[in-house]
Amino acid sequence: MTQLRDRRPTTALLDRRFRLKERGTTVAREVRGGITTFVAMAYIVLLNPLILGASADITGARLTITEVTTATALAAGVMTVLMGLVGNAPLALAAGLGVNGIVAFQLAPTMTWAQAFGLVVLEGLCIVVLAVSGIRERIMNAIPAALKTAISVGIGLYIALVGLVSAGFVTRTPDSAHSAVPVRMGEGGHLVGWPMVVFAIGLLLMIVLMARAVPGAVLISIVVATVVAVIANALWPGQDWGLVTPKLPTTLVAAPDFALFGHVDLFGGFASAGAITATVFLFTLVLSGFFDAMGTITSVCHEAGMTKDGKVTGMGRILLVDGIGAVVGGGTGSAPNTVFLESAAGVGEGARTGLASVVTGALLGATMLVTPIASIVPAQAAAPALVVIGGIMMAQCRRIPFQDSDFTIPVFLTMAIVPFTYSITNGVGAGIVSYVVVKLGKGQWREVHWLVAVIAAIFVAYFGIAGIEALAR
C-alpha cells in the first residue's frame, strides 16, 4: 500500500508533464517504447565512427573510433532527452545517416575537422533561425508530399550504396572513364575473403530478423556479425578488413574520450576551402538538414497520433530541437543530429509522448562508457544496417503517384541523383527545379507555391555556381 502511495505522485507528475492520459498511454508503455527505440537505433553509436573515420581531413588527420563514439553517444543522449522535454514527442535524435557522409566525404577533404564541425554548428544555427521564424514549417507544408517522399527514398538509396561501398561489396572500376561499368561487385568482380562472408551473414541475418519483427534486429545482427569477424580474424589472420580489424579489446568499459568536444572553428573553413566553396558546403548542409527530417517527423508523428488536419502537433518545437541537434552535433564532433526513423519502433510498442524519448536518451548517453566495444566492429559487420535501412526507406515509394505526369520525372530525378552523385542536396534540387519547370510548361504556374518557386530559384543558382565563379575570374 505504501508503495502505491509513493508511486501516485510521481505518476501524476509525469502525466501532467507529458500529457499521458490525453494521448492514451501509460508510464509503462512509454518506458517500453523508449527501450525499444534505443535497441533499434543503438547501432548508430557503432556506425557513425566508421563513417567519419573513413575519411581524412585536408591535413591527413583521421578521427579515432573512441572519440567519435563518445561524441555520438553524448550528442544523441542530450538531444533525445531534449526532444522529450521540449517537443514532447517520441522522437529520438542521433548523428544523421547521409548528412554525416557529407561531413566526412565532402567537407573534411577540403578543410580541417575543426573547421568542418564549425560549418556544422553554423548550419544548425541557420536551421534554428528558420525554425524560430516559422519559415521551415511553412516550407515543409509548401513542398508537395510526393517530392517529400521522393527525398526520403533517395536518401534510402544513398545510405544503401554507402553501406555496400564501405563493406567492399561494391567497388570502383579502375579507369572507370574508359569502362562501360563505373562500379563492380567486390574486388575484380568477385566476392572473396572472410570480410565478405561476415557482411553476407550480417545482412541475411538482419533481413530474416526484421522480417520476423524481432526487436533490436539491427543491433543483434551487428553483434553476431562482429563475433563471427573476431573469430575469423583470429583463425585466418591477414584478411583486409579496412580501417577496423576485429580484435578483442583489453577492456569493455572505459572512460569517455571528450577530445572532440568544443573542437570547432566556425569560420576557418571559408579560408581553407575558399569563400564560395565553403558557402556552397554550408548551403548543402542546411538543405540536407532542412529536408532530411521532414519525412521522418511526419510519418512517425502520424503513427503516434500526433497529427491533426494533416499537420503535426507541436511541429514548431520539434523543428527547433531538430535544429539545435545540428549545433550540438557540431559542438561535440559527432556530425549533425537529426530525428531517426527508428523512432517508429518505439511508437509501434506504444510510445506516444516525450517520456519515451527521455528513456531512450538516458540509455544512449550511458553507451559512452562502452566505447572500447565500438573499436572491434568492422565495416562489414555494421554496413548491413545501412543496406537494410535503405531498403526500408525505399518502401515509401508506394505513396508516390507515379501516374501523375507532374511528378513522374521530378521524383525519379530526386531518387536517382541522390545516390548517383553522393549528394542529397543535388537530388532535392533536381526534383524541385524539374517540378517547377513541369508546372510552368503546362501553364499551371499558379499551382506552384511561392516558397517552392523561391527554393527552385536558389537551386538554379546553386547548380550554376561553378559557371558563375568561372565567369567572375
Question: How confident is the model at residue 75, as a pLDDT?
Answer: 96
pLDDT above 90 covers a percentage of the chain that reads 31
SS3 90: coil
Chain segment 302-320, per-residue pLDDT in tens? 778 887 776 788 888 898 8
- Over range 349-353, report the average pLDDT: 85
Q: Which residue has better confidence, 225 or 345?
A: 225
Question: How confident is the model at residue 136, as a pLDDT?
Answer: 72
**Residue 179: which pLDDT band, with cuts at 50, 70 and 90?**
low
Q: Report whether pLDDT(2) > 50.
A: no
Instruction: Yes or no: say if 333 and 67 are a contact pair by the CB < 8 Å rule.
Output: yes
What end-to-end distance do the CA atoms of the chain give, in Å? 81
- The CA distance from 383 to 270, in Å, is 33
Question: How confident is the model at residue 232, as a pLDDT?
Answer: 93
CA-angle at 356, arms to 96 and 307, nearest 5°: 80
The residue written with cell numbers 500529457 in the block is 19
**Residue 186: which pLDDT band, with cuts at 50, 70 and 90?**
confident
Q: Report whether pLDDT(349) > 80.
A: no
Backbone angles phi, psi at 307, to 5 degrees: -115, 145
Question: How confident is the model at residue 73, as a pLDDT?
Answer: 94
**Residue 1: which pLDDT band, with cuts at 50, 70 and 90?**
very low
Q: Which residue(s) pair with 308 in the sheet?
A: 311
Chain segment 413-453, per-residue pLDDT in tens? 999 998 888 777 788 889 999 999 999 999 998 889 898 89
- The CA distance from 58 to 376, in Å, is 27
Q: What are 206's three cell numbers?
A: 538482419
- The CA distance from 373 to 354, in Å, is 29
- The CA distance from 298 to 155, in Å, is 16
Chain segment 37-91, per-residue pLDDT in tens? 887 788 788 889 888 988 899 999 999 888 999 999 999 999 999 999 999 999 9
Q: What is the pTM of this model?
A: 0.71
What is the residue-averaged pLDDT of the chain?
84
Question: How confident is the model at residue 379, as a pLDDT?
Answer: 79
